[in-house]
Amino acid sequence: MSGIAADDITPWLPPEDLARVRRQVPMLYLDLLPVRMDDSGTVTQVGLLLRMSHGTLSRALVSGRVLYHETIRQAMLRHLEKDLGPLCLPKLPPSPQPFTIGEYFPTPGSGGAYDPRQHAVSLAYLVKVDGDCQPQQDALDFTWFTPAAAQAPEVLAQLVDGHATVLRRGLAHAGVEA
Amino acid sequence: MSGIAADDITPWLPPEDLARVRRQVPMLYLDLLPVRMDDSGTVTQVGLLLRMSHGTLSRALVSGRVLYHETIRQAMLRHLEKDLGPLCLPKLPPSPQPFTIGEYFPTPGSGGAYDPRQHAVSLAYLVKVDGDCQPQQDALDFTWFTPAAAQAPEVLAQLVDGHATVLRRGLAHAGVEA
Amino acid sequence: MSGIAADDITPWLPPEDLARVRRQVPMLYLDLLPVRMDDSGTVTQVGLLLRMSHGTLSRALVSGRVLYHETIRQAMLRHLEKDLGPLCLPKLPPSPQPFTIGEYFPTPGSGGAYDPRQHAVSLAYLVKVDGDCQPQQDALDFTWFTPAAAQAPEVLAQLVDGHATVLRRGLAHAGVEA
Amino acid sequence: MSGIAADDITPWLPPEDLARVRRQVPMLYLDLLPVRMDDSGTVTQVGLLLRMSHGTLSRALVSGRVLYHETIRQAMLRHLEKDLGPLCLPKLPPSPQPFTIGEYFPTPGSGGAYDPRQHAVSLAYLVKVDGDCQPQQDALDFTWFTPAAAQAPEVLAQLVDGHATVLRRGLAHAGVEA
């Protein structure tokens, strides 16, 4: 999952409070697959972020927390614009039903993915993105992959823990599994 | 469900053949809810067709057969453009997963809706329609309703048998049930 | 949503901590519809809890928090057994995909249901319950309703804020909307 | 997809009629994944049929036509009992929403799987099967696989065209993709 974004830290939740809350309750996240589609509605590309962390390159979905008193749809828009820029023009899905739920635990081997920072549960959605996408903040790059290329072993291996699973479920849901 | 559209009758399936097939196997249909959405992805309007049949006004979803050797996505586009005109600009959904399945039987009380013409099974989808919609062929009108207005008893009562059920399931799926 | 259950208060999250966290991040909840089904898989009954709170009777789904380091499936089992007793024998669904997401805000008119205690987001599932269900703890009763009876205006009006919406979406998902 | 089962041929649809209808309209099919689950609702095994056809061994999902005037649920039960025997004790899912749609065309390269017999569209469901499963009729064997074993390349390669796709989407939907 992505690091703590600046706008995730609100006046009433300073870093030390967030750090404590992350060890007290599961954190609600979104895992978003930005997709390009052709006129027939077929997903032709999925976008992944590239980041450098502790000297290692890793790829990730658009991902982040839902804030206190924020709706799911507001959080979707905020994270897409935060990670892809204000011109990405996302088309949010009409239904709140996610295609899957991601589970992330601070202890490896707990039945989900590993996230050393926290226990997190994500709602996962496909989001059509029509506009111009530019990597923001700490991202080095944002790359569109065909469904087959995104599921190549070397790409899956670069993904942050748990995101390969969500990515494959999303592409299977879209009917474009490799 | 809608009547036999002209382009549903292909050279290799003349009306008498279609009539016979309709008593031999279930016919595969699509039930489509054209929707308008705001920038947050919330469904704000759903469109219904108005037709005159045997002297009675009735409303209907965009609905019709999947033809031999036609993909689901091709059939979606064909029916939307056939019923709403070539400028309706539908945005097909990224996933083949329908929100529900409709069942229509030629015998009342068979556990589904009543369709005197046939046994039909429909795949139901929400489809965002951004363009200009004009009723085509036998339709008198095409009207956008808010979710609440579409679920008013007088509108539900005007719907072709079975379409009220699919409409309500679709609006519940979108999270905008009245 | 249900009150704070005894086993929701773990040593590392005393009541004052929970109260504070509830004003800092959205709380992850489950909203579960216990259902009875016939041999054909059709939902024939849905179960609702009856509680007395501040002198008022109210009905509710089986609902509660996901705890820190608890999987969704563990939380499902815990809440069903906590509310319906150890002999309720739930059959958990095979997919983590919920049929909808519930949103609850501490400020009325925020675009979801009202929960004065917190901002909560729920994952909603149908769960087949085959065994003997007995109301536990603070519940006065647990009653099975046919889908039609559960959607009678007087029952919907008794439901805790937001649960009528989730109930109707769940019954629509099951294809047994009234 | 499975061959023409004896009980698929009803008095009003003799083989020559079925053969003709199969070239006139898409045939409605079910693709069913029989699954075993543990107490937590996690899918632990998926069952596949083994058949000999034209001297070649192939594996398949439980699959077959929906008959005229048959409900989806009746067809589910009929095919499960036809392929797995009367003691298989299937637990049908509570919702008519399939996890995906399969598309099969009589011409290779038409955008779906290849089925030389027909154009078919399948509704795909996971079905929990608790009882004793015995291969019936033309099946040589029925084998339970762990999700990982079922997705081994040699098993996927043995599957009837299109079934590997549906299998992988079903396991991804269940959250047990390899």
pLDDT band at B178 (very low <50, low <70, confident <90, very high): confident
CB contact under 8 A, D40 and C126: no
ipTM for the assembly:
0.92
The pairing of beta strand A120-129 with beta strand A100-105: antiparallel
From the list D76, D81, D53, the residue with the least C-alpha distance to D65 is D76
The pairing of beta strand A113-114 with beta strand A120-129: unpaired
Residue-level pLDDT at D177: 85
- The tens digit of pLDDT for each residue in C42-71 reads 999 999 999 998 889 999 999 999 999 999
- The tens digit of pLDDT for each residue in C26-35 reads 999 999 999 9
Residue-level pLDDT at B3: 44
Pick C71's closest partner by Cβ from A21, A97, A112: A112
Q: Which residue of C has its CA nearest to D129?
A: C94
Contacts of B68 (CB under 8 A, 6+ apart): B10, B12, B13, D23, D24, D25, D26, D119
Residue-level pLDDT at C5: 47
Mean pLDDT of B18-37: 95
Residue C15 pLDDT > 90: no
- The tens digit of pLDDT for each residue in B37-81 reads 998 899 999 999 999 988 899 999 999 999 999 999 999 999 999
From the list D78, D124, C42, C93, the residue with the least C-alpha distance to B123 is D124
Q: How many CA atoms lie within 13 A of A161 on its CB side?
A: 16
CB contact under 8 A, A92 and B128: no
Give the best residue of A91, A99, A167, A176 to mutate against chain B (max B CB count within 10 A). Answer: A91
Pick A128's closest partner by Cβ from B94, B97, B174: B94
CB contact under 8 A, A72 and C121: yes
- Residues of chain B with Cβ-Cβ distance to C124 below 8 Å are none
Tell me the average pLDDT of chain C. 91
Between these two residues, C109 and C74, which has the higher pLDDT value?
C74
pLDDT band at B130 (very low <50, low <70, confident <90, very high): very high
Pick A95's closest partner by Cβ from B40, B74, B174: B174
- Residues of chain B with Cβ-Cβ distance to C173 below 8 Å are 100, 169, 172-173
SS (H, E, C) chain C: CCCCCHHHCCCCCCHHHHHHHCCCCCEEEEEEEEEEECCCCCEEEEEEEEEEECCEEEEECEEEECCCCCCHHHHHHHHHHHHHCCCCCEECCCCCCCCEEEEEECCCCCCCEECCCCCEEEEEEEEEECCCCCCCCCEEEEEEECHHHHCCHHHHHHECCCHHHHHHHHHHHCCCCC
CB proximity D100 to A under 8 Å: yes
Residue-level pLDDT at D110: 80
CA distances, B138 to each of A43, B6, B52, B118, C161 (Å): 34, 11, 8, 20, 44
Pick D168's closest partner by Cβ from A100, A165, A177: A177
Q: pTM for the complete prediction?
A: 0.93
Tell me the average pLDDT of chain D. 92
Between these two residues, B111 and C41, which has the higher pLDDT value?
C41
The Cα A53–Cα A3 span in angstroms is 10
- The tens digit of pLDDT for each residue in C112-133 reads 999 999 999 999 999 999 999 9
Pick C42's closest partner by Cβ from D35, D73, D175: D73
CB contact under 8 A, C92 and D41: yes
CB pairs under 8 A between C and D: 63
Mean pLDDT of D67-84: 96
SS (H, E, C) chain B: CCCCCHHHCCCCCCHHHHHHHCCCCCEEEEEEEEEEECCCCCEEEEEEEEEEECCEEEEECEEEECCCCCCHHHHHHHHHHHHHCCCCCEECCCCCCCCEEEEEECCCCCCCEECCCCCEEEEEEEEEECCCCCCCCCEEEEEEECHHHHCCHHHHHHECCCHHHHHHHHHHHCCCCC
Pick C71's closest partner by Cβ from A21, A106, A111: A111
pLDDT band at A12 (very low <50, low <70, confident <90, very high): low
- Highest mean pLDDT of the ranges A103-112, B93-102, C12-21: B93-102
Between these two residues, D16 and B44, which has the higher pLDDT value?
B44
- The tens digit of pLDDT for each residue in C123-169 reads 999 999 999 999 998 899 999 999 999 999 999 999 999 999 999 99
Touching A: which chains, 3+ CB pairs < 8 A?
A: B, C, D
Sign of the torsion angle spanned by Cα atoms B146, B150, B155, B158: positive
CB contact under 8 A, A68 and C23: yes
Listed by number, the residues of chain B in 6-45 with a beta carbon closer than 8 Å to a beta carbon of chain C are none
Nearest 5°: phi and psi at A31?
-115, 115
Chain A nearest-CA distance from C97, in A, is 5
Residue A83 pLDDT > 70: yes
Touching B: which chains, 3+ CB pairs < 8 A?
A: A, C, D
- The tens digit of pLDDT for each residue in A128-148 reads 999 999 999 889 999 999 999
Mean pLDDT of A105-112: 88
